[in-house]
Amino acid sequence: MLFYYLYIFEPILLEKAKGSWVWDVEGKKYLDCVSGTWSVNLGHNHPKIVQTIRDQSKKMIHRSMRFLTPITIEAAESVLKFVPNKYNNITFLNSGSEAVEFTINFAQKVTGKRKVLSLKDSYLGAYGLAKLSSYTSGKASELKIPYPTCETSDCNCLDEYNELIEHILKNYISELACFVLEPILVSGGIIRPCSNFIRELCSKLQEEGILIISNEVTTGYGRTGLKFGHEHHKIKPDIIAIGKAMGNGYPVSAIVTNSSLSSELSPAEMYYAQSHQLDPLGAAVAKLVVDVFEEEMIVQKSQEKIALFNQFLGTLEYPFIKEIRAQGMVYGLVLQSYKGLSSNNLILKIKDNLLQEGIIIGASIGKEILRLLPPLTITNNEIKILEEKISKVFNSI
Ligand SMILES: Cc1ncc(COP(=O)(O)O)c(C=O)c1O
């Protein structure tokens, strides 16, 4: 009946949502610990967002591409203020994949070069060059490099990795348009690349005019503990791609850069036409989400939740847990085989049992990880419920 491509759907039908919860058609509620598709950092159906969608859709949902609307200009100003460092150019698109693909095409046009550099475990998008540069593409046509993961600032990983940086500079400078960095590799396994390495690589590349793109589709809007993921590495990207949480469930994304780059292109080179870019409804949501983040101090307040999660995860001692990974509000439990169950079967069993208990978590078979990316607004009481359910299911294994 339905065409679906990737997922075998869960055996429940969801019909409504609020805050950290979703309800199925039978009225059973589930704590959504993956924030939809890692998108509702403010929780589902935030009342102010629902109101904004109502108000804006009464005024105007969509318009002809040749026209701007006041709300689009206001949203541009708000998002540019929200993004760290000074940028003065933004355009609104619809999905994360579209934003990342746009940044790569833009970098190619500005530099006149083609090749794209990325870290080998990054996920950058569902199609095009973003997909080719992701771990999900088996094709080795783009430059996907290894990287160190040291956690201390006085690491000496550069002794080893300088050679790689030199190799890239020596062999690819003339072809390389950009380095697309996913600052914390979320889908690729919840891995934080070494900041000393990232800083050194970015600075050497920028000296050579190669553009640094920060893919903040998942790491943006407080997900990794800071407002944006690249802040962990103390770098200043040339271009930033934003998505997911910027619309808190509504499909709006953006690319952010400076006019010093865009002014290098003629109007013909800049041309990009897609029916819903800069639509007023998406812009209204994007502006409201930024306002809520600022007014309700969402990132600051999430620090308490992060501490609670880390405290709880630190207490989990089960023979089937191989490793626990945590980056802000992104958590991963790497499992290993136990009592004759392979790690993947264990992941599915735990995911299914938790679903029965009213908890939705992420299960990545390829990476052998159970993943939690709850809304940043999850309450202390909801965290307690999650802890009880996790303990109950884990004890039953
Ligand atoms: C880091 C990153 N980049 C890009 C994307 C693609 O975004 P979308 O699914 O909105 O197209 C994702 C989606 O999960 C992502 O995690």
364 pocket-lining for ligand 1 (C-beta < 6 Å): no
Residues 189 and 118 in one domain: yes
Specify if 54 maps to a domain: yes
Using a CB cutoff of 8 Å and minimum separation of 24, what contacts does 386-395 make? 386/31, 386/33, 386/359, 387/312, 389/31, 389/354, 389/357, 389/358, 389/359, 390/316, 390/354, 390/359, 392/357, 393/350, 393/353, 393/354, 393/357, 394/316, 394/318, 394/350
- State the Cα–Cα distance between residues 219 and 326, nearest whole angstrom: 13
Using the mean position of ligand 1's atoms as its centre, give its distance from the Cα of residue 337 in Å. 30
- Same-domain status, 256 and 391: no
Q: Find out whether 191 and 121 touch, Cβ atoms under 8 Å.
A: yes
Residue 106 in domain: yes
Q: How far apart are CA 21 and CA 358, in angstroms?
A: 9
**Pocket probe mutation, ligand 1, options 100, 180, 182, max atoms within 8 Å of Cβ:** 100
User: Is residue 4 one of the residues assigned to a domain?
Assistant: no
Residue labelled with tokens 């540019």: 80
Residue 152 to residues 148, 194, 197, 220, 353, Cα–Cα distance (Å): 11, 8, 12, 23, 37
DSSP letter for 175, please: T
Same domain for 160 and 61 = yes
Please list the pLDDT of the chain residue by residue as tens digits (397 residues).
Answer: 666 665 678 999 999 999 999 999 999 999 999 999 999 999 999 999 999 999 999 999 999 999 999 999 999 999 999 999 999 999 999 999 999 999 999 999 999 999 999 999 999 999 999 999 999 887 766 799 999 998 888 899 999 999 999 999 999 999 999 999 999 999 999 999 999 999 999 999 999 999 999 999 999 999 999 999 999 999 999 999 999 999 999 999 999 999 999 998 999 999 999 999 999 999 999 999 999 999 999 999 999 999 999 999 999 999 999 999 999 999 999 999 999 999 999 999 999 999 999 999 999 988 889 999 999 999 999 999 999 999 999 999 9
Residue-level length of the chain: 397
Domain with residue 124: its CATH number is 3.40.640.10
Q: What's 312's domain CATH number?
A: 3.90.1150.10
Shared domain for 148 and 214, answered yes or no, is yes
Closest CA to 59 of 39, 46, 74, 45: 74
Which structural domain, as residue segments, surrounds residue 381? Answer: 14-32+297-395
**Residue 240, H or E segment:** strand 239-242
In this structure, the answer to whether residues 306 and 290 fall within a common structural domain is no
List residues bridging with 385 in a β-sheet: none
Number of domains in the chain: 2
Q: How far is the CA of 243 from the centre of ligand 1 (A)?
A: 7
Q: Are strands 369-372 and 239-242 parallel, antiparallel or unpaired?
A: unpaired
- DSSP H helical ranges for the chain: 35-38, 47-59, 70-82, 96-111, 128-132, 157-172, 195-207, 259-262, 267-270, 280-295, 298-315, 343-356, 380-395
Ligand 1 in contact with 215 (CB < 6 A)? Answer: yes
Atom of ligand 1 nearest to the CA of 244: 10
280 in contact with ligand 1, CB cutoff 6 A: no
Distance 98 CA to ligand 1 centre (A): 9
Which of 295, 317, 343 terminates a domain? The answer is 295
* Domain presence at residue 100: yes
Q: Is 323 helix (H, G, I), strand (E, B) or coil?
A: strand
DSSP one-letter code for 160? H
Both 59 and 163 in a single domain?
A: yes
In terms of domains, do 307 and 377 share one? Answer: yes
182 belongs to a structural domain? yes
CA neighbor of 228 nearest in space, from 283, 125, 287, 299: 299
Rounded CA-CA distance 340/165 in Å is 44
| 265 and 314 fall within a common domain | no
- Ligand 1 touching residue 218 (CB < 6 A): yes
pTM of the predicted structure, to 2 decimals? 0.97
Token pair recorded at residue 364:
């990545």
CA of 130 to the centre of ligand 1 (A): 10
Q: 234 and 100, same structural domain?
A: yes
Residue 49, ligand 1, Cβ within 6 A? no
Domain boundary among 295, 328, 351: 295
Is 1 within a domain?
no
Question: Of 295, 315, 346, which residue sits at a domain end?
Answer: 295
Residues 273 and 166 in one domain: yes
pLDDT for 140:
64
Q: Specify if 134 maps to a domain.
A: yes
Q: Which residue puts its alpha carbon closest to atom 9 of ligand 1?
A: 96
Is 227 in the same domain as 302? Answer: no
Query: Same domain, yes or no, for 288 and 301?
Result: no
Q: In what order do the strands lie in the sheet with 330-335?
A: 321-327, 330-335, 369-372, 362-364
Residue 236 within any structural domain of the chain: yes
